[in-house]
Amino acid sequence: VKPYGSYYNIPIGQLGLRLTKHSYSLPLVAYSFLGIEVIAVAAFEAKKSSYLRWPSRVIAYVIFLLYFLCTIGETLTVGWRSKHLPMIYEGLANSTTTASGPTTPPNSTSLAVTAAWAAGYHNLAGFLNGCLIFSVLSASNTSLYVSSRTLYGLTREIPDTNWLGRKLHSLSFVVRQTGVPATALLFSAISFFWLPFLQLKAGYAIQDVSSNNRQNALR
C-alpha cells in the first residue's frame, strides 16, 4: 500500500495518515454489510422458523466470500486512482449544476461496472448496471420492511393512557387480512421520502451546510 499525502493537508506522520485512511474506509465497507442481521427481524414471519436455520447460518459466509472475491477482482481491474471512482458521496452532495461525472465512458462510478468496462465487456457492464439497480431497489424494499416492523414493535408497547400515547400507539395498527402493520409502514416510508429531493435545489440545503461547516472547521 503506497502512502500518498494529497487527501488531507494535515501535518501528521505518514503512518498516522495511512491508519486514518484505513479506518476511514472501514465504515464505507461496513455500509455494504448493513442488514446482515435482518434475518432476525424476518424470522418471526417465516412459515416455520426451522426453514431459516440453514440460511441464517450460511448467509454471512456466502456474502463474505462473494464480497472478498469481487473486491479482489475489482482491485485487480480498476486502478486506485481511476477517474471513475466517485467523488465524495456524490449521490448526496451532488447537485444538478455542479455535476461533473467522469468524461470518458462508462458514465458510472460503480466499481463493478467500471471493472467490466475496463476488461472490455461493454455489454456486460450495462447488464451489471441493471443488476445493481435491481439489487439496490430490492435493498431499499428490505429497509422499508425492517423499519416498518421495528416501528410496529416499538409503538405496540406504548401505553395509550394519554393523548400522545394514543397517537403513538395507533401506529401499531395491523391489517387483519395481510398481517401488515400498515400505519407503521406508511409512516416509515413518508418520514424520509423528502430526502432525495434535497439535492435538486443546487447550492441550497446540503451545500449551504457544507460550506458553513467548512468555515467553522477552518476557524
Partner 1 sequence: VPLIFLENEFLTKVLRSSSLLAPLLVAEYSTTMEVFATTLHAPERKAYLRIESLEVAGPAGLILSVIAIGFVAIFVSECISELSQQFPAPNAIVEYVKTFVDKDLGWVVGIAYWYAFASVFAVQNLAAAELSKYWGLSQTFQTLAFYGLAPLVILTLNFFGVYVGLVSPISFVYG
Between CA 156 and CA 171 the distance in angstroms is: 8
Residues 179-218 that bind partner 1 (CB under 8 A): 179-180, 182, 185-186, 188-189, 191-193, 195-197, 199-200, 203, 206-207, 209-211, 213-214, 217
Residues 24-83 that bind partner 1 (CB under 8 A): 24-45, 47, 49-50, 52-53, 56-57, 59-61, 63-64, 67-68, 71-72, 74-75, 78, 80-83
Between CA 153 and CA 192 the distance in angstroms is: 19
17 binds partner 1 (CB under 8 A): no
Residue where the block lists cell 481491474: 77
Give the residue with the Cβ less far from partner 1, 37 or 121: 37
Between CA 31 and CA 19 the distance in angstroms is: 19
173 binds partner 1 (CB under 8 A): no
Residues 91-150 that bind partner 1 (CB under 8 A): 91-96, 98, 100-101, 106-111, 113, 125-126, 129, 132-133, 135-150
Query: Could you tell me if 186 and 175 are in contact, meaning their C-beta atoms sit under 8 angstroms apart?
Result: no
Between CA 55 and CA 43 the distance in angstroms is: 11
Nearest approach in angstroms of CB 10 to partner 1 is 13
Residue where the block lists cell 473486491: 71
